[in-house]
Amino acid sequence: MKNRSLYLPAALTGLLAVMAATGCTTSQGKPEATSTPVTPAIETFVLKADTMSTGLALPGELIAYQQVDLYAKVNSFVKTMKADIGTEVKEGQLLATLEAPELVSQTAAAESKLKSQLAVYTASKATYDRLLETSKTPGTISQNDLDVAYARKSSDLAQLDAAKAAHREVTVIKDYLEIRAPFAGVITARNVNAGAYVGPSGKGSELPMFTLQQQKHLRLAVSVPEANTGYLKQGDDITFTVRSLPNQTFHAKITRMAGALDLRLRSEKIEMDVFNDDRKLLPGMVAEVSLPLNAAQTTMTIPKSALVASAEGLFVIKVVDHKAERVAVKKGRETENRVEVFGSITQGDVLVTKASEEIRPGTSIK
């Protein structure tokens, strides 16, 4: 009995140890579930190629297809005015007449000299012709006399040609006393009145006599940023509006492209022809232009939420073997919800839909 009592505490100690080891059991005798880390589910999508069509809104300027400032070509005085601001004129129509008294005397002198030289040449030619006819009889006229007569006739002919040229020059200058429209259009400025002294630019009046604009045919000029120039081509349809007619949309086609970038703005100038027969549009108006940006081939487009802009640059998160991998990309065009990207990504790649910098490279993605 004595020996058995000595072993009882040891057995009790072992029982307590077993109970301590199983102390995590519930009152029903079932073991509690231990907490293990769970990989959160992250939304992904499969990358597909797509053709993105976007638009670009830019301010443009309407300018006259042709515009010219008309100055007097010679120093003179305004005699009569035949047109005023707002006058619609035809090509060649007389706009004003000028007078220059010194031109009258120059014209008379040129005419007189021409007539005189014509008479001299006529006489020398007649003399040469008679000598030439007489020389056909041997021994009557020496060859020297014939050569002298021919030289005089040639000299007088040259003088006659010079007189004709001088007379023609004076006649052309006299025609400058009439100011005519070089093309059909509208007079938009008039800066002189009858009796005013006028002349070539900088020598007579500082301002032009008239400003003429062709308004039934306008140019719409737009400067397109460098990043968007590759999406435009001649013949593309565009639309535009102006503030004075907010409820009306106008249509045109791209007609001319500069083919080079402006060094200051880093943009390409393009022009559209706008036909304005009703003259609703005026040169100088600012237009809001909508340009279509249609890609010639398919590109990779993703939701905007899949693109991360960080201090290190732009990147997307690609899933490779259930692990996150950052891929640097460049951004192209964008719409309200999607953006065009370029980089080391191909169709069929799996990307994270809502990417962020918190998803580090190597993160497990379920």
Q: Which H or E run contains 218?
A: strand 217-225
What does DSSP assign to residue 251? Answer: E
- How high is the pLDDT of residue 121? 93
CATH number, domain with residue 241: 2.40.30.170
What's the predicted TM-score (pTM) here?
0.62
d(CA 105, CA 99): 12
- How high is the pLDDT of residue 40? 64
Q: Which H or E run contains 77?
A: strand 76-81
Residue after which a domain boundary falls, among 174, 190, 206: 190
Q: Which residue has the tokens 């053709």?
A: 51
d(CA 95, CA 133): 57
Same-domain status, 109 and 169: yes
Distance from chain centroid for Cα 1: 115
Query: Do the domain assignments include residue 24?
Result: no
- How high is the pLDDT of residue 203? 58
Same-domain status, 177 and 155: yes
Domain limits at 133? 68-190
Residues of the chain with pLDDT under 50: 1-36
Same-domain status, 82 and 161: yes
Q: Which long-range contacts (CB under 8 A, 24 or more apart) does 247-252 make?
A: 248/280, 250/274, 250/281, 250/287, 252/220
Query: Do the domain assignments include residue 362?
Result: no
Query: Do the domain assignments include residue 35?
Result: no
Query: Do the domain assignments include residue 119?
Result: yes
What does DSSP assign to residue 104? Answer: H
Q: Which H or E run contains 292?
A: strand 286-294
Query: Do the domain assignments include residue 267?
Result: yes
Q: What's the length of the chain?
A: 366
- How high is the pLDDT of residue 140? 82
CATH number, domain with residue 314: 2.40.420.20
Residue after which a domain boundary falls, among 121, 155, 190: 190
- How high is the pLDDT of residue 30? 47
Same-domain status, 181 and 265: no
The crossing angle, in degrees rounded to 10, of helices 143-175 and 101-134 is 160
Same-domain status, 92 and 155: yes
Same-domain status, 83 and 159: yes
Same-domain status, 179 and 261: no
Residue after which a domain boundary falls, among 153, 175, 190: 190
- Show Cβ contacts of residue 104 under 8 Å, excluding neighbours closer than 6 positions: none
Type of residue found at 332 = G
Same-domain status, 133 and 228: no
Query: Do the domain assignments include residue 3?
Result: no
Distance from chain centroid for Cα 116: 60
Same-domain status, 172 and 77: yes
Sign of CA dihedral 249, 255, 260, 262: negative
- How high is the pLDDT of residue 14? 42
- How high is the pLDDT of residue 185? 95
In three-state secondary structure terms, 39 is coil
Same-domain status, 273 and 231: yes
Query: Do the domain assignments include residue 198?
Result: no
- The answer to whether residues 238 and 252 touch, using CB atoms and an 8 Å cutoff, is yes
Same-domain status, 222 and 161: no
- The answer to whether residues 324 and 44 touch, using CB atoms and an 8 Å cutoff, is no
Same-domain status, 281 and 323: no
- How high is the pLDDT of residue 202? 62
Query: Do the domain assignments include residue 4?
Result: no
Look at the chain and report how many structural domains it folds into: 3
Q: What is the full DSSP assignment across 175-212? A: HTTEEE-SSSEEEEEE---TT-EE-STTTS-SS-SEEE
